[in-house]
Amino acid sequence: MADMFFHIEQRSAWVRTSTHTIIYDHDPDYMRFAPDPSGKVKRMLRIWLAERKADRPCLRAYLGTVTFCFIRPSFRDLCRLFHLTTAAAKAAGQSAKALRHDLADLLRKYIHEEYG
């Protein structure tokens, strides 16, 4: 059985809700906007189910993005993420319960860092 884990890519975006302006961290202007107090920097976690290979991880399934901004991630987004984790685990022949538990621990860590 393969050794599965969650591969996380952290991204950031500067958001001004009053004008619906979003500047992502890969944009050259991001560093100019990030300290601007008229907006807020939000953090996003892009999450994949991955398999460990000898030289690098093999991404098996994209599960979704969790956004941390003005409030904690939405319940709906978290439910979708756990549903997709269950489906991906079953497709990979893994224990869905164990992977959901690992995902819950991982998300608790990020939520605690962001709001703790």
Query: How many CB atoms neighbour CB 110 within 10 A?
Result: 16
pLDDT band at 43 (very low <50, low <70, confident <90, very high): confident
CA distance 37 to 65: 25
The confidence band for 21, taking pLDDT boundaries of 50, 70 and 90, is very high
pLDDT in tens, 93-106: 888 999 999 999 99
| Helix orientation angle between 75-91 and 96-115, rounded to the nearest 10 degrees | 150
CA atoms within 13 A on the CB side of 56: 2
Predicted TM-score (pTM) of the model is 0.78
So what's the pLDDT on residue 24? 94
Alpha helices in 6-95 (DSSP H): 30-33, 75-91
pLDDT digit string, tens, across residues 62-76: 999 888 766 678 888
Neighbours of 114 (CB within 10 A): 13
Say which range, 3-7, 25-29, 66-70, 90-94, has the weakest mean pLDDT. 66-70
Q: How far is CA 94 from CA 17, 84, 97, 98, in A?
A: 41, 13, 9, 8
